[in-house]
Amino acid sequence: MKNLFRIATRAAITALSFAGAPLLAAQLDPVPVRIIGINDFHGHLEAGNNVLFLKDPTAAAGTPDLRVNVGSAAAMSGIMKSLRAGSPFSLTIGGGDLVGASPLVSSLFRHETTIEILNEMGLDVSTVGNHEFDAGLVELQRLIKGGCAATKPADIAASCASDGRYGGAKFTYLASNVVDAQGKHPIAPYTIKTFDGIRVGIIGAVTKTTPQMVVPSGIAGLTFQDEAEAVNRAADALRALGVRSMIATFHEGIELGTNAKRGDWNDTTCPEAHGPLLDIAKRLAPEIKVVHSAHTHQGYRCEIGGRLLISGTSYARGISVVDVELDRSTGAMLPPVRSYNLPVVNERTDPAQRAKLAGAAPAPFDAVLRDAKPDASIAAKVAKFAALVAPKADRPIGRIGGAITRSGNDSSAGRLVADSQYAATKSLGAQAALMNPGGIRANFECAAPPCTVTFGQAFTMQPFGNSLVVVSYTGTQLKDMLESQWKGTSGEPRFLQPSETFTYTWTDSAAPGSRVTDLRIGGEPVQPQRKYRITVNSFLAEGGDGFTATRDGTEPVGGGQDIDALLAWLGAGDRNPDGAARINRVK
């Protein structure tokens, strides 16, 4: 009987072991998490004329890239939903510059519309970008926490204008490397998300060069620390809490190739990669396996030193996706299983192009590109916001005789804006105007001249609402200012855009301090000790865009707003692209 009892007991244990095998396997299997990333959204709720140039996967090498119509919040949300449906757990993450330098449908509402749409799209967390600080820390904190801002009758933008209230961001903004005068974080350095019992830390950081790109008075008292050092301090804090899986999201990035020939955004070897993020990534805590990034408006997917660095371009044109696994026994993140950058195909995408792109994408992303549909709820909300904006946005304000773009040393767009600012301040004694290139945010496209320019298009080109100021610089100060345009790390100077009354020669091969020659204002050679009255915008006057020498101006006299100057210039007569070089660049 004892032997029979032993045999029965062993049989029962064996049966239980087999029955419990699926449960045991499930307990040992890693936890899959899909990371869905967006960056540099810039309030592009509508598709507009957004395109991507992508390699034709069915064509021979050397074939011109496909010009693919892409974008819109609704199309992006539809792809996000399809991606989430393919994984039991997901995290939607942003790389900053979600707002700022935006079209009218965002800017006119002080970007509250964009935050509301991102809430509905299911964004979980994002680092801040430099453009989140465009209106200063106080306004950024209001945008995060909610509440209506005071609006004056003369203001172009209005708060709580869509439905009389604003609830703030439902996602978490991060900035581990931003501290105030007391050494405290005005924005959270990290957050923790839990997936099937395993905690994951997400750390954010913005480029430490932010003070060069925003109005200094708006960030007074803030310090923008080294990105890697700050993120590693946050990693130490997470480690002390027992968190072993970490993701970093940076508003900083890299570039692939050159302006003339960019690399493929899904080539993981990333040939000719360069930029600050490469050094940052080398110095990060080992727990950080995925680095979501932004700032350069480029798409890339780089496997470097055991980490994945990924970015999905800008303006709702692309989405990055990374599938990772979390080890149940250690809580650590395993190396990424798969990753891909997907174009945000929409209803305007050519069906044949869409089929090509879907056919070339690896599973499961092929089905997403083939089948995803725009989010109808998001589309309806954006349409509502656009309808509120339309009476102002669609108002014709002038005509142009051809495309006016931002390409070139002193671009046709730069010339247009600088000329408008000079014209608006001549009565204040201005002799010339200089415009920072980063403040010109869009082109005026014109396929069949003459073309009408609307208020919305003008506002998109000049969205910051800077005021104009006429200041005095000596000839020596002007030359020193121009010499400072050389940016050694990028290998390319960033030229201040001059009005028609301001010309000079720039020689690349000349020694530092000797690159600028034949500087003239009003056709006359500039004299070193003589004072000249130059118009700049208020951002540039405070040393913005890294042009610190502009702060040396004296005898300031305030003028109107930059957008008003552009509107007046376009309204005063038809404007043709000015092809005459004001900067004679010699290699």
pLDDT digits (tens, 9 = 90+) for 290-308: 999 999 999 999 999 889 9
Q: What is the largest CA-CA distance in the chain?
A: 118
Cα–Cα distance, 252 to 38 (Å, whole number): 13
**More confident of the two residues 526 and 579:** 526
Q: What is the phi-psi region of residue 131: left when phi exceeds 0, alpha when psi lies from -120 to 50, beta otherwise?
A: alpha
SS3 at position 449:
coil
Q: Count other Cβ atoms within 10 Å, centred on residue 322.
A: 24
Q: Count other Cβ atoms within 10 Å, centred on residue 186.
A: 15
Predicted confidence (pLDDT) at residue 538 exceeds the cutoff of 60: yes
Backbone angles phi, psi at 520, to 5 degrees: -135, 145
Catalogue all structural domains in the chain, each as residue range(s) with its CATH number: 30-388 (3.60.21.10), 396-586 (3.90.780.10)
Q: What is the phi-psi region of residue 250: left when phi exceeds 0, alpha when psi lies from -120 to 50, beta otherwise?
A: beta
Q: What is the pLDDT of residues 347-378, one digit of tens each?
A: 999 999 999 999 999 999 999 999 999 999 99
Range in 172-176, 259-263, 412-416 the model is least confident about = 259-263
Q: What is the pLDDT of residues 130-149, one digit of tens each?
A: 999 989 999 999 999 999 99
- Alpha-carbon separation of residue 475 from 244, 340, 514 (angstroms): 58, 52, 14
- The amino acid present at 150, given as its one-letter code, is A
- For 509, residues 6+ apart whose C-beta sits below 8 A from its C-beta are 586, 587
Cα–Cα distance, 474 to 530 (Å, whole number): 5
Residue 305 and residue 298 in contact, taking contact as beta carbons nearer than 8 Å: no
CA 112 to chain centre: 17
Cα–Cα distance, 438 to 101 (Å, whole number): 10
Cα–Cα distance, 366 to 69 (Å, whole number): 18
Q: What is the pLDDT of residues 72-113, one digit of tens each?
A: 999 999 999 999 999 999 999 999 999 998 888 999 999 999
- For 400, residues 6+ apart whose C-beta sits below 8 A from its C-beta are 444, 446, 449, 450, 451, 453, 570, 574, 575, 576, 577
Q: Count other Cβ atoms within 10 Å, centred on residue 418.
A: 27
**More confident of the two residues 578 and 147:** 147
End-to-end CA distance of the chain: 100
Count of all residues that appear for the chain in the document: 587
- The amino acid present at 50, given as its one-letter code, is N
Of 276, 356, 286, which Cα lies nearest the Cα of 311? Answer: 276
Tokens 């942003």 sit at which residue? Answer: 94
pLDDT of residue 105: 94
Tokens 């307990």 sit at which residue? Answer: 27
| Mean pLDDT of all residues belonging to the chain | 92
Percentage of the chain modeled with pLDDT above 90: 80
pLDDT of residue 513: 93
Handedness of CA 435, 440, 446, 452 (dihedral sign): negative
pLDDT of residue 486: 78
DSSP code, position 537:
E
In DSSP notation, 454-487 reads EHHHHHHHS-S-PEEEEEEEEHHHHHHHHHTT--
Cα–Cα distance, 430 to 434 (Å, whole number): 11
**What is the Cα Rg of the chain in Å?**
27
Cα–Cα distance, 38 to 70 (Å, whole number): 14
Residue 279 and residue 227 in contact, taking contact as beta carbons nearer than 8 Å: no
- For 212, residues 6+ apart whose C-beta sits below 8 A from its C-beta are 543, 544, 545, 546, 548
